[in-house]
Structure 1
Amino acid sequence: MESSLLKPMDEELSEYLRDESRVIGAAESISFPKSQQEVITIINELYSKGIPITVQGTRTGLAAGAVPKGGHIMNLSRMDSMTAMRSDEEGHFHITLQAGMILSQLRKQIEGRKFDVEKWSVESRKTLVKFREAPEQFFSPDPTEGSATIGGMVACNASGARSYLYGSIRKHITALKIVLYNGHTLSIQRGNVFANGRTLNLVTDQGYGFTVLLPSYEMPKTKNASGYYIEKDMDAIDLFIGSDGTLGVITDIEIKLLPLPQIMWGVSCFFEKEKDAIEFVIALRERLDDVASMEFFDGDSLELLRKQKNENPAFSKLPVVEKRMNTAIYIELHCENEKLAIENLTNVGLLMRESGGCEKDTWVARNDADRDSLLFFRHAVPESVNMLIDERKKEDPIITKLGTDMSVPNHHLRHIVGMYRSMLNEHGLQSAIWGHIGDNHLHVNILPHNEGDYIKGKALYAEWATEVSKLGGAVSAEHGVGKLKANFLTVMYGQNHIDEMAELKETFDPKGILGTGNMFTPQKEVVVYENCRMHKTSTID
């Protein structure tokens, strides 16, 4: 190891070989840079030697995007500072932070309005004074894992429950700084650089320009985190959001904050029949505004929680769900005032009755403590599934949880739920289904008991990917593609478009060693390294 920034892998560092997907990789070295300059130093040392580089945050991902496939791990968790704040002409506040900033940390500092401003500019400090005088602000993306880094969330275009109203993290990113394969850097501000049709011209901070040919595919008209974001005349910043660490190393991120709603109420609505719950969701979408999130929990998920409450002291504070209840829909209302919230709550009850339910079968959380209790209920489901699979792995190490992350257009919701249910029953597989039903985005978790179940489950997952793609859906709606869904990306777009993605990647990564294995494996192996594919731009000194 030539640089003191690079450390050889050993047993004490083995945790960095895995993420929440439960996949375990391999690497020869690891680094923990604290600045963009250290990232540049590491890239300059490794890339010319052809050493694969996998970028990590806190490894909360579920698609194995942070799992190394040999070579080097660049872990950005120590790049966790806020560096600037500004406000725009519309009065929105923007915060610049390093990619390793943890979401829960960010939320805490925004809520407390307390920041380390020692290295902030005078202008940033002036903006902070305005921020402290303004109404309370928040950052809307809310994936299940509050320990996720913002860089990791950008890498997979994460979203979470509130994306139904506020969209994925893409909508809340206003600037990025990226280190490229040759040590050059890109600084991109939203609204500043656009493609001309399917051709994108970029200029590095060092004054060198290059041309990117964008793939020709059309993205599905649904919630989507599958492959590179591509549109005609697109904003350049969107190419890097959701790029899974395959185009460069994102080191700095500017996020946009929103005013916190005056009223935030959580409502859990229970139904005896799953079909009634589905009709309720469809009616909500058509007839009710101010719904920030809409979450689904099937009967198997509820039964898991009942079992955990009875057998595991850690889950003793879970609320009791009556045995007769088969499905739960959690919604969160974000309203300007209490009068509007009460009107919405009344309409929720009305729509429940029309759909075959009863407004009495609800839990309503009007304050933070009650809402936290309902959020604990929501988060307990995936945690319970992970615990169950971990126990079964002790008997049969080959098995893992098989969790889908697919979405379809609105008009296919009834069909896709019916397809999941009938095919699971046909194959005799245990499952638990939950997720963001407002976006027709359900996490179907197949829970194998043995290797036979696991093989059947993987085959079923592949069938679903084909069907979802035919319906105009996405094989990954929020977790990214990573390594686990690379085959499904080919099913979704076809090999010709995968080849186009590979050509795009080659522009940013001639050796094909950034994020190796994420999204796809290029068919063509590049063996000749070009020191710099860029040309000096005459407009920049």
Structure 2
Amino acid sequence: MLIQPWSAEFDDYLHDESRTRGTADSISFPRTEDELRAVLRDLRPTAVPITVQGARTGLAAGAVPEGGHVLNLSRMNRCLGLRQDASGAFYLRVQPGLVLSELRKYLSAKAFPMDGWDEASRAAAARLAEAPEQMFPTDPTETSATLGGMAACNASGARSYRYGAMRDHVHALRLVLADGDVLALERGACRARGRTLELTTEGGHRMCVQLPAYQMPHAKNASGYFAADDMDAVDLVIGSDGTLGVISELELELMPAPSVIWGVSCFFACEDQAVEATVAARGRLRHAAALEYFDPAALDILRRARAAGSAFAALPELPASFGCCLFVEIQAPSEDEAMADVARLASVVEAAGGEPCDSWVARTAVDRETLRFFRHAVPESVNMLIDERRRTEPTITKLGSDMSVPDERLADVIALYRSTLAEAGLESAAWGHIGNNHLHVNILPRTRDEFLRGKELFERWARAVTEMGGAVSAEHGVGKIKRSFLAVMYGEEALAQMARLKLAFDPAAQLGRGNLIDVKMIETSLSGFYHSGEEGVA
């Protein structure tokens, strides 16, 4: 039986990394597209709400159910085939439950589990084994994330500075609709005419969809449905937070891995110096793949975690003179070119007031792993701190921002964060993708009052970032936690347009209930949708 009634053994599937907890009545774990379609067809007559899950590593509660059915895709985790095009590029087909870390192991070994592969895919695998090592560049912090989940929220991570987000590396996909029908989409095969998108399912159903009219910001963005004139249909599905359909298959474009990967941690006495160095590095470095930042509070948390022992005792010691850190990953075709970039970076650091001799340079795999542990220890330490505080105040959670602005507003948005946090008297720590003007400012409440004041501050930031031409969600998606920010960023009429678009794909509003769009907005749109009598048109 594919659909199982809820019991205590499934309670772990009621939450994700946002620490938000939901409820559900049933759950399923399909292994194939046919099983997935069968589940959706069985649930269709009663219009049961359906929440799609992968590994539940998300931070926006998109995988947290609000009643109904949990459709967990973690067992749809196979590699399905491989091809090579005329230019020599490789394309790998995968199920959505494949975990990123497993994909990386397969690519590093140049070997895949090939059960069920056809002869053409096996021949392509033989050619890949003889080719330079390939990589998939999207690099979220959680390598335990599934590829389907990464597509659902348009994940990015540190290397998005060079390679962009998940959307840029998905060539094709299969989307199972709420009625079990399928849309097969390949990049370049179906484009909108202006803001009108016409689609035909494998079952022969024709859809004419009106895309939202809003203009997206010129900044890193994962806020709501992708909408642009003459856009590719693939781009609409990426970042749709499981609200339009269920991704059953992805075709990923691979690329040759860089010959040289070095990491450099540059330390500064104050934040202004790090910001100045970031701006200069963007213009001078030729091979930077990532520009990451850790503020003074983040370094202090690491110092305390190291002093407390346990797993964090292996962290490198941070002298008191190290006020904040700019981490640069250099990916170059040769060591000579990497060394030239390191020399440029040293001059950037010195010009900004730092000491190049204080920098840590990681050239070997072991050294890079040490710096990776250093970077990932920051969010882990913060989560541990909040979990400890929740023992005495269980109603609080960490409040993590995910906002971005255009290049010219980096200093402005950091000044906004600092002044408003000081005014509110709230503890915080910030880190993240400063190269994309995208910092994760984490408010660390001790009490329920501080938690509520932090949420109010986030609303204030959403308005200010929007006025700067930025995005309220840059990489985590919107899910349930940040849907109120979309009204700030796009306006109520835009949300109504988003609701109508959703209903064109999912007329009973079963999928991703509560993600992106408030249920009341969906209900209002449902009334007008059925009054028009035209399913498939929005």
TM-score bracket relative to the smaller structure: over 0.9
Residue 294 in structure 1 maps to residue 274 in structure 2: no
Aligned equivalents of 2:260, 2:307: Cα separation in 1? 34
The aligned residue for residue 160 of structure 1 is 157
Aligned-pair CA distance for 1:531? 12
Specify the alignment match of 2:253 in structure 1: 256
Paired residue for 1:479? 476
Question: Is this contact kept in 2: 1:199–1:213, CA < 8 A?
Answer: yes
Measured against aligned partners, the alpha-carbon deviations of 1:247-304 in whole angstroms (never above 9, x if no partner) come to 0010100101110111110000000111001000000012222100000000000000
Which residue does 1:211 correspond to in 2? 208
Identity %: 49
CA-CA distance at 1:58 after TM superposition: 0.7
TM-score calculated relative to the size of structure 1: 0.97
SS of 2:206's partner is strand
Q: 1:173 to 1:524 in 2, by over 3 A?
A: closer
Deviation at 1:534, TM superposition (A): 5.8
Aligned equivalent of 1:405: 402
Does the CA contact (< 8 Å) of 1:182 and 1:531 recur in 2?
no
1:221 alignment partner AA: H
TM-fit CA distance, 1:530:
12
State the partner residue of 1:239.
236
In structure 1, the residue matched to 2:416 is 419
Answer yes or no: is 1:437 the counterpart of 2:434: yes
Measure the CA separation in 2 of the matches of 1:166 and 1:524.
Answer: 35
Q: Give 1:468's aligned amino acid.
A: V
Distance 1:345 1:67 in 2: 44
2:462 aligned residue: 465
Q: Which amino acid aligns with 1:34?
A: R
In the alignment, is residue 179 of structure 1 matched against residue 176 of structure 2?
yes
> Helix, strand or coil for the counterpart of 1:517?
coil
Against the structure 1 CA distance between its residues 109 and 531, is the aligned structure 2 distance closer, same or farther, given a 3 Å change threshold?
Answer: farther
Find the counterpart in structure 2 of residue 97 from structure 1. 94
2:390 is aligned to: 393
Partners in 2 of 1:452 and 1:207 — Cα distance? Answer: 55
Q: How does 1:24-103 map to 2 (within 5 A)?
A: 24-103=21-100
Give the C-alpha shift of residue 426 in structure 1: 1.3
The one-letter amino acid of 1:54's match is: T
Contact 1:215 1:497 in 2 (8 A): yes
Alpha-carbon offset, residue 8 of structure 1? 0.9
Q: Deviation digits for residues 496-521 of structure 1, max 9, x if unmatched?
A: 10100001001011111210000012
Match of 1:517 in 2: 514
d(CA) in 1 for partners of 2:510 and 2:532? 14
Q: Does 1:505 align with 2:512?
A: no
1:124 pairs, out of 121, 124, 134, with 121
Per the alignment, in what secondary structure is the counterpart of residue 262 of structure 2?
strand
Per-residue displacement from partner, 1:306-328 (whole Å, max 9, x unpaired)?
Answer: 01111122101100111111110
Q: Kindly indicate whether the alpha-carbon contact (under 8 Å) linking 1:182 and 1:532 is maintained by their aligned counterparts in 2.
A: no
Deviations 1:443-469 (A, max 9, x none): 000000111111111111110011001
CA deviations on 1:212-232 (whole Å, 9 max, x unpaired) are 111110100000000000110
Q: Is the 1:511–1:529 contact (alpha carbons within 8 Å) kept by the matching residues of 2?
A: no
What SS does the aligned partner of 1:360 have?
helix
1:249-288 superposed matches below 5 A: 249-288=246-285
Inter-CA distance 299–524: structure 2 relative to 1 (3 Å threshold): closer
One-letter code aligned to 1:255: L
Distance 2:481 2:141 in 1: 19
Q: Report if aligned partners of 1:393, 1:400 keep a CA contact under 8 Å in 2.
A: yes
* DSSP 3-state at the match of 1:373: helix
Cα contact 1:434–1:442 (8 A) shared by 2: yes
Cα distance, 1:121 vs structure 2: 0.6
Pair 524,425 (structure 1): closer, same or farther in 2 beyond 3 Å: closer
Quick check: 2:136–2:255 contact (8 Å CA) kept in 1? yes
Say whether the 8 Å CA contact 1:48–1:529 is kept in structure 2: no
- Return the letter of the residue paired with 2:341: N
Tell whether the 8 Å contact from 2:52 to 2:242 is kept in structure 1 after alignment: yes
- Residue pair 2:404, 2:471 contacting (<8 A) in 1 also: yes
Structure 1 residue 533: Cα displacement? 3.9
Match of 1:369 among 366, 370, 378: 366
Q: For 1:395, what is the secondary structure of its paired residue? A: coil
- Counterpart residue number, 2:218: 221
- TM-aligned CA deviation for residue 529 of structure 1: 11
DSSP 3-state at the match of 2:375: helix
What is the CA distance between 1:123 and its match in structure 2? 0.4
Kept after mapping to 2: 8 A contact 1:510/1:530: no
Q: Distance in 2 between matches of 1:243 and 1:497?
A: 15
Distance 2:458 2:51 in 1: 27
Cα distance between partner residues in 2 of 1:358 and 1:90: 45
Could you tell me how far apart the structure 2 residues matched to 1:424 and 1:315 are? 28
Letter in 1 for 2:307: N
Q: Which residue of 2 aligns with 1:109?
A: 106
Amino acid in the other structure paired with 2:288: V
The aligned counterpart of 1:538 is none
The aligned counterpart of 1:491 is: 488
Task: Select the residue among 434, 445, 453 that pairs with 1:448.
Answer: 445
Give unmatched runs, 5+ long, in structure 1.
536-541
